[in-house]
Structure 1
Amino acid sequence: MTTELPGPSQESVPSLLRPGARVFVAGHRGLVGSALVRRLSAEGHEVITRGRDRLDLCDAGRTEAFLRETRPDAVVLAAAKVGGIMANSTYPVQFLEENLRIQLSVVAGAHAAGVGRLLFLGSSCIYPKHAPQPIPESALLTGPLEPTNEAYALAKIAGIVQTQSYRRQYGASYISAMPTNLYGPGDNFDLETSHVLPALIRRFHEAGSSGAPAVTLWGSGSPRREFLHVDDLAAACVLLLERYDGDEPVNVGTGQDLTIRELAATVADVTSYQGRVEWDSGKPDGTARKLLDVSRLTSLGFVPQIALRDGIAATYAWWLAEQGAKV
């Protein structure tokens, strides 16, 4: 089952990304990168990719040489080491250092190679733990971060400042976007390292398959989260490459949230799980609420196209197909 891509963006201003542009997508095999490849290809752009087996993005010299050789019109930096609360809490060194190396290598290499446009993708975890809700871009660096993913957040904040610095010092047309929680085809379903939504899909599916009478989930279920289908994110990224050239980061989300308890109920319904859902309040909840203020993005004409339940159902179907292909 495939999810229909949102329609092409409307042309209302001269595009900053020429038709048929050559775009290097760093991290093309991941959740975000694969969606970007689908979207850019659908809009007629030439997508350039390199797998980790051929190019280590932590290697600054090789990355710069690659960009000088291929000379893309634009770079989208979607490569990152990512994970959920457990992974971030267990491996903060790796989440900090690997992301810093990738960002320093790709952004500096793009500048050295004369790449005209670059979009750096951060994360909503860059904002303070007690930021106002919905969270405006101006909340950045105004308070302490959520401790469970502080190392990853600091790396992403450094990436924002890096793109801003290249703009200010060199006049580079480099921008950054901060997506909310993402999901969709290509997501990570490993229970040790996955984010909440794919983890829920797998937990409920496996509980249903085994006939387990209950599923126990971390925390109280009360935190509120916002979720955006990755194909909607890809549409927003292309829109930003075409229309946005500002110094400030741009939030990318739906502008709507729900509790983890409500999310779990939706996933249980989609996966047809009939057992009980129990909550382990001794485990951490994380930030109480994370809803992005997306007014800057909506002012550019962006409207998400994929409803949450529909997106979850499509993602579940994709994962089942992937599991079937492995048998």
Structure 2
Amino acid sequence: MDLHSKIYVAGHRGMVGSAIVSNLKSKGFNNIIERTSSELNLINQQEVADFFEKEKPEYVFLAAAKVGGIVANNTYRADFIYENLMIQNNVIHNSYKNGVKKLMFLGSSCIYPKLAPQPLTENSLLTGLLEETNEPYAIAKIAGIKMCDSYRAQYGCNFVSVMPTNLYGLNDNYDLQNSHVLPALLRKFHEAKINNEPSVTVWGSGTPLREFLHATDMADACVFLMQNYDDEGFVNIGSGVEISIKDLAYLVKNIVGFNGEVVFDTSKPDGTPRKLMDVTKLSKMGWHYKISLEEGIKAVYAQKFNQ
């Protein structure tokens, strides 16, 4: 990409998409195409075909997706598989039809088998059963990776895929029914502090281990790989550092300044017991994360809740 390349960021108002746009602009890229979902419905095949035919983007970041936490994934299983497959199919196929020079597809670490050896290496894909609660979403994302590789194999398209770990940052989803664990904890502890509640209940046992990466770092890695990675397969993006949900809850508690008790509801699901990304492949290319978890949570809390 050069600074005048025509770049389409699908999902530019989401947490990752908006961070990618900010990163590109900070580096001087000045020809970025953005469309809201009301302007361009990526689930609609004809709308996407018309958009690509008219705009002819040279580079595409496919960061648009239907996303959510355990409850949303398990409740809206049909929505998650249908909408994500349609978005991917439409954008990837029309990128091929209109001669896009390079496309980057953003997957998710939940594509890995539930009990895959840790840390998760790229070659662990499809070696075991998926986590049941988010299986439809994961299958859609696996299909996206394989679609990029298939268009590369058959048509010679330079379509690449990246697998982010758990992300957090500005423009995250804080809905308690549909959000991921970190924004949900931030909102729970903040509201408990404001309402002087005696305790906060956290789902599960607190024992699962999770890795987190700030969306700003994720975006920087995506732009780095768009300029430096041109192979089949995919690249894990993460920090390589993990924390238990229990320790995360107490970290958020301290950052928010909540003085009550933390209660773990073991009747609720834990999800995957451990999910740490092996980032050796990315590290060897010369990219490393910059924002520590504590620093990142403090910044997000200040931005979201004006604290």
Structure-2-length-normalised TM-score: 0.98
Partners of 2:205 and 2:282 in 1: CA distance? 32
Aligned partner of 1:232 in structure 2 is 217
Aligned partner of 1:286 in structure 2 is 271
Aligned partner of 2:204 in structure 1 is 219
Match for 2:99 among 97, 111, 114?
A: 114
Aligned partner of 1:265 in structure 2 is 250
Match for 1:43 among 19, 24, 27?
A: 27
Tell me if 1:23 matches 2:7.
yes
Alpha-carbon displacement from aligned partner over 1:129-161 (angstroms, at most 9, x marks no partner):
011100000000000000010000000000000
1:48-197 matches, cutoff 5 A: 48-197=33-182
Do 1:60 and 1:109's aligned partners in 2 also have CA atoms closer than 8 Å? no
Match for 2:232 among 247, 263, 267?
A: 247
Partners of 1:183 and 1:21 in 2: CA distance? 28
Aligned length: 306
Secondary structure of 1:132's aligned partner = coil
Partners of 1:268 and 1:68 in 2: CA distance? 50
Match for 1:34 among 12, 18, 21?
A: 18
Partners of 2:7 and 2:28 in 1: CA distance? 11
Aligned partner of 1:5 in structure 2 is none
Aligned partner of 1:33: which letter? G
Partners of 2:208 and 2:5 in 1: CA distance? 41
Gaps of 5+ in 2: none
Secondary structure of 2:299's aligned partner = helix
Partners of 1:21 and 1:257 in 2: CA distance? 37
TM-superposed deviation, 1:191:
0.6
Partners of 2:57 and 2:94 in 1: CA distance? 12
Aligned partner of 1:14 in structure 2 is none
Aligned partner of 2:196: which letter? G
TM-superposed deviation, 1:21:
2.0
Aligned partner of 2:25: which letter? S
Aligned partner of 1:94: which letter? D
TM-superposed deviation, 1:20:
3.0
Partners of 1:44 and 1:113 in 2: CA distance? 25
TM-superposed deviation, 1:78:
0.4
Q: Give the ranges of 4+ consecutive aligned residues of structure 1 lying more than 4 Å apart after TM superposition.
A: none
Match for 1:199 among 172, 184, 196?
A: 184
Partners of 1:51 and 1:207 in 2: CA distance? 34
Do 1:204 and 1:273's aligned partners in 2 also have CA atoms closer than 8 Å? yes
Aligned partner of 2:20: which letter? L
Partners of 2:166 and 2:148 in 1: CA distance? 22
What is the percentage of aligned positions where both structures have the same residue?
A: 51
Gaps of 5+ in 1: 1-16
Aligned partner of 2:148: which letter? T
Partners of 2:69 and 2:199 in 1: CA distance? 23
RMSD (Å) for aligned C-alpha atoms: 1.0
TM-superposed deviation, 1:278:
0.6
Match for 1:208 among 179, 184, 193?
A: 193
Aligned partner of 1:283: which letter? K
Partners of 2:3 and 2:232 in 1: CA distance? 24
Structure-1-length-normalised TM-score: 0.92
Secondary structure of 2:9's aligned partner = strand
Do 1:177 and 1:251's aligned partners in 2 also have CA atoms closer than 8 Å? yes
Aligned partner of 1:230: which letter? A
Aligned partner of 1:251: which letter? N
